[in-house]
């Protein structure tokens, strides 16, 4: 992972997409197999019976991947400052998710180099989580 610097970032820069494959076990183990919240989080067969098609991928798992994706892009000296997200639709395990992002704003505020990144998870061509993550990047000087 290389360091990204504020001076090298421009509005509308695209972040290289990354594909993730949330497996059934990964989705179920995120909350635990005894999760009483929704049977589809704990059992793929329950999800199929509910018409979902399998185990649900927890939204918090997708959000954590988006945060890691942005943090990796920012580099080791980058700092995630804020996260906002909206869950648009559920995703089912064992189907690929594409993480994608682009820079939508950059500014200097109180001596900090701030960059706003719009991020999204996409499955079957449709967005499932949309968010904005603000990162602080170091300057070159």
- Pair 126, 88 in one domain: yes
Shared domain check, 65 and 4: yes
Q: Please enumerate in sequence order all residues whose Cβ is within 8 A of that of 13, keeping only pairs 6 or more positions apart, or say none.
A: 102, 103
Of 48-52, 97-101, 120-124, 125-129, the poorest mean pLDDT is in 48-52
Q: Cα–Cα–Cα angle for 60, 88, 25, nearest 5°? A: 40
pLDDT in tens, 93-110: 999 999 999 999 999 999
Query: Which CATH number does the domain housing residue 120 bear?
Result: 3.10.129.10
Shared domain check, 90 and 36:
no
34 and 15 part of one domain: no
Residues 15, 63, single domain; the answer is: yes
Same domain, 92 and 112: yes
Indicate the pTM of the whole model: 0.90
Domain identity same for 52 and 62: no
75 and 93 in one domain? yes
The partner residues of 102 in beta bridges, in order of sequence, read 14, 118
Rg over alpha carbons for the chain, rounded to the nearest Å, is 17
Q: Which of 13, 22, 11, 12 is nearest to 128 (CA)?
A: 22
Instruction: Classify residue 62 as left (phi > 0), alpha (psi -120 to 50) or beta.
Output: alpha
Tell me the CA distances in angstroms from 124 to 1, 2, 92, one per residue in order: 29, 31, 11
Domains in the chain, number: 2
- Residue 77: predicted pLDDT: 97
Give the model confidence (pLDDT) of 25-71 as tens digits.
887 788 766 665 677 777 778 888 888 888 888 889 999 999 999 99
Claim to verify: residue 107 and residue 134 sit in the same structural domain = yes
Domain boundaries, position 10: 1-22+57-141
């Amino acid at each position: 992972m290389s360091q990204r610097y504020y001076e090298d970032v421009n509005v509308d820069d695209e972040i290289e997409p990354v594909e993730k494959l949330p497996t059934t076990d990964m989705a179920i183990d995120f909350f635990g197999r005894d999760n009483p919240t929704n049977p589809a989080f704990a059992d793929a067969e329950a999800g199929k019976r509910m018409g979902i098609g399998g185990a649900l991928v927890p939204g918090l798992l997708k959000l954590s991947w988006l945060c890691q994706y942005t943090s990796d892009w920012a580099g080791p000296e980058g700092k995630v400052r804020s996260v906002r997200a909206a869950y648009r639709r559920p995703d089912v395990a064992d189907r690929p998710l594409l993480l994608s992002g682009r820079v939508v704003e950059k500014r200097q505020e109180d001596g900090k180099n701030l960059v706003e990144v719009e991020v999204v998870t996409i499955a079957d061509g449709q967005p499932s989580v949309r968010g904005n993550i603000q990162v602080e990047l170091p300057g070159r000087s």
